[in-house]
Amino acid sequence: MITITTTEALAAFCETAKQFPYVTVDTEFLRERTYYSKLCLVQLAVPSEVEGSAVLLDPLAKGISLDPLYDLMRDETVVKVFHAARQDIEIFFIEGGVIPTPLFDTQVAAMVAGFGEQVGYETLVRKIVKAQLDKTSRFTDWSRRPLTEAQQNYALADVTHLRGIYEYLASELEQSGRLAWVEEELGILTDPGTYVVEPEYAWHRIKTRTSSGRFLAIVRELARFRETYARTKNIPRNRVIKDDALLELASTKPKTVNDLSRSRLLLREARKGEVADGLLAAVQAGIDTPVESQPKADRSRDKLQVNPALADLLRVLLKARSEQLGVAQKLIATSSELDEISAGIHDGATLKGWRREAFGEDALRLCRGELGLKANGNMVEVFEI
């Protein structure tokens, strides 16, 4: 088992990796105590059985530079294979300014290949490579050194089995002609905007049913302060103020530190000092926001003239097509998207790209009365009218 702890050794491995068609990648990190993920370990493997084909990279090693790794992530001749890649890519983007390309995510690919919704890595290992994973080291402090042998074995398994999973899924998707479907889905993961949270829009993450412009303006300013403060101090958002406490302050509109002390949900640390000052200033900024500048809740769905019967028929059609194609239903269309189609809104994601080919065109034909559905035993058949 090889652990890379120097820039020179990393550069040598990465140059070797560039001679292969793909490299499997995984990371271990901590995020419980920081705003940004702390990268603690990187696992890499190339399709070879020789010694050193799978390695552990210690980013915490003294003096090591990850530039050779970032250079490999940019190499267009080598496919970078991850499972559930979003958090891994976010780390590479934030720390190295790079998004791995070309990219292959086995979780997305498995959904297209008929393994269900958001299938876990352990399930794919069991079903595709016929192996069992030792998960005893799953919840561990990856920043502590030295790593135990169990930790190292667990970490390496996340990329060694991934080779067989990738080769199987890539072959299946090529035979079915669905590789382009996966590439289309990966557009979100390869978009830098996916990993950038602007303080101005941080309030969109907060769930509220209130449509009051004044209330939403206060929520926006509180969320803006929280995002900026947490990022500056590199602490989790919830260490500044939790969502429920933020909504409480938007409702009670405290003006003084004494008002803050009456909060039921606010953390003790947020009732004094610069956090308290920031919260009070944010509340006041929200109150002072002119009506024309207040955010407005998205009420577009409130005006939808949903046809319940047609929406139900679309759900039956989706189930039939999903079973026929072996693709997870939620990957094709969500319940709200089906409601929109039944209401005559035909510009959603379900009616674009591969989804239109797989389901959307038939959905429109069903709406126009050109297709019908009938039961045949336990199956639903689609027929021309």
Give which of 299, 40, 67, 281 is closest to 152, Cα–Cα: 40
**What separation, in Å, do the N-terminal and C-terminal C-alpha atoms of the chain show?**
63
The CATH class for the domain spanning 2-195 reads alpha beta
Can you tell me the mean pLDDT for 204-216?
91
Can you tell me the mean pLDDT for 306-329?
93
Give which of 28, 65, 62 is closest to 43, Cα–Cα: 28
Q: pTM value?
A: 0.89
Four-way CATH pick for 301-384: 1.10.150, 3.30.310, 1.20.120, 1.10.287: 1.10.150
* CA triple 248-251-256, angle to 5 deg: 85
Band (pLDDT 50/70/90 cuts) for residue 290 is very high
Q: Where on the phi/psi map is residue 63: left (φ > 0), alpha (ψ -120 to 50), or beta?
A: left
* CA triple 28-31-35, angle to 5 deg: 135
Does 148 have pLDDT greater than 80? Answer: yes
Q: How far apart are CA 247 and CA 245, in angstroms?
A: 5
Does 301 have pLDDT greater than 80? Answer: no
> Considering the chain, what is the average pLDDT of its residues?
94
Can you tell me the mean pLDDT for 260-269?
94
Q: How far apart are CA 291 and CA 289, in angstroms?
A: 6
Given CATH 3.30.110.30, say whether it is the number of domain 199-293: no
For the ranges 96-105, 108-117, 156-165, which has the lowest average pLDDT? 108-117
φ, ψ for residue 379, nearest 5 deg: -105, 160
How are beta strands 79-82 and 22-30 bridged, if at all? parallel
Element (H, E) at 28: strand 22-30
Does 302 have pLDDT greater than 70? Answer: no
Does 135 have pLDDT greater than 90? Answer: no
User: Could you read off the pLDDT of 338-380 as tens digits, one per residue?
Assistant: 999 999 999 999 999 999 999 999 999 999 999 999 998 888 9
Residue 378: the pLDDT is 85
The two domains 2-195 and 199-293 share their CATH topology (first three levels equal): no
Q: How far apart are CA 354 and CA 357, in angstroms?
A: 5
Domain ranges of the chain: 2-195, 199-293, 301-384
Burial (CB count within 10 angstroms: exposed 0-12, middle 13-18, buried 19+), residue 89: buried
Does 185 have pLDDT greater than 80? Answer: yes
CB distance 352 to 363 below 8 Å: no
Residue 139: the pLDDT is 82
Give which of 82, 251, 305 is closest to 182, Cα–Cα: 82
User: Could you read off the pLDDT of 104-130 as tens digits, one per residue?
Assistant: 999 999 999 989 888 899 999 999 999
